[in-house]
Chain A
Amino acid sequence: QVQLVESGGGVVQPGRSLRLSCAASGFTFSTYAMHWVRQAPGKGLDWVAVMSYDGSKKWYAESVKGRFTISRDNSKNTLYVQMNSLRVEDTAVYYCVRPGGVAQSFHYWGQGTLVTVSS
């Protein structure tokens, strides 16, 4: 069965960096684009970034462009997001998501990892 397991969350001061990882299993990771989606405490869902199946293309939400970098290692079935210059407003649960189907809807979600940016 498909499993996505995020790690790397924690408490970090504003301006510092953090790298999240997402270990994937149960499917052929190298054939799927992969996304990061976040959710601030008590708020709605917010798309962050996507990387193509082969790592050749990536897109970001305007709110993280220039600060976050999405990457993947298909040999390790792992997705990453490097988060630099973190802001208080980046505080959220970060989900790793695998799309599917014609509409590329979000079929599978990880359990999420909480990032808290606070001084």
Chain B
Amino acid sequence: DIQMTQSPSSLSASVGDRVTITCRASQNITTYLNWYQQKPGTAPDLLISAASSLHSGVPSRFGGSGSGTDFTLTISSLQPEDFTTYYCQQSYSLPLTFGGGTKVEIK
């Protein structure tokens, strides 16, 4: 199975800050890496697919990069609604696996 290691597990930041979350795969997954945002009590929403493709309707302050084993999600200027939890997920091979999540909190 491919292990997905996400870091940090939590971070504190302020509105307007630039934030970077990293995700490392235990083997090469090319660009089969997706990012999701989950707000409390709701289902996750797709932010980024295929490592860097912004999903329809997602604000342009979100960006993704990387290939192979190392990936990043960047939020260029945090907005109040961005303080929540983010997950990476590999869709390269079964079983599909997720990172442990990153909780972005208000400083």
Q: Contact residues of A with B, CB < 8 Å?
A: 35, 44-47, 50, 59, 61-62, 95, 99, 101-107, 109-112
Query: Known: A44-B87, A44-B101, A105-B34. Is A110-B96 also a contact (CB below 8 A)?
Result: no
Instruction: Name the A residues within 8 Å of B96 (CB-CB).
Output: 35, 47, 50
Q: Contact residues of B with A, CB < 8 Å?
A: 1, 31-34, 36, 38, 42-46, 49-51, 53, 55, 87, 89, 91, 94-101
Interface of B is mostly: loop
CA distance A68 to B40 in the complex (A): 27
Contact A44–B98 (Cβ < 8 Å): yes
Contact B98–A50 (Cβ < 8 Å): no
Identify B91's interface contact among A46, A105, A110, A112, CB under 8 A.
A105
Contact B100–A44 (Cβ < 8 Å): yes
| Interchain Cβ contacts under 8 Å between A and B, 5 examples | A44-B99, A103-B33, A109-B45, A111-B42, A112-B43
Contact A45–B94 (Cβ < 8 Å): no
CA distance A115 to B46 in the complex (A): 24
Determine how close the nearest CB of chain A comes to the CB of B64; give it in whole angstroms.
11
Query: Known: A59-B94, A103-B32. Is A45-B49 also a contact (CB below 8 A)?
Result: no
Determine how close the nearest CB of chain A comes to the CB of B31; give it in whole angstroms.
7
Which residue of chain A has its CB nearest to the CB of B101? A44
Top 8 A-B pairs, shortest CB-CB distance: A109-B43, A105-B49, A105-B34, A103-B50, A47-B96, A45-B98, A103-B49, A44-B101
Which residue of chain B has its CB nearest to the CB of A93? B43
Contact A106–B46 (Cβ < 8 Å): yes
Determine how close the nearest CB of chain A comes to the CB of B81; give it in whole angstroms.
18
Name, among A95, A103, A112, the residue most crowded by chain B CB atoms within 10 Å (CB to CB). A103
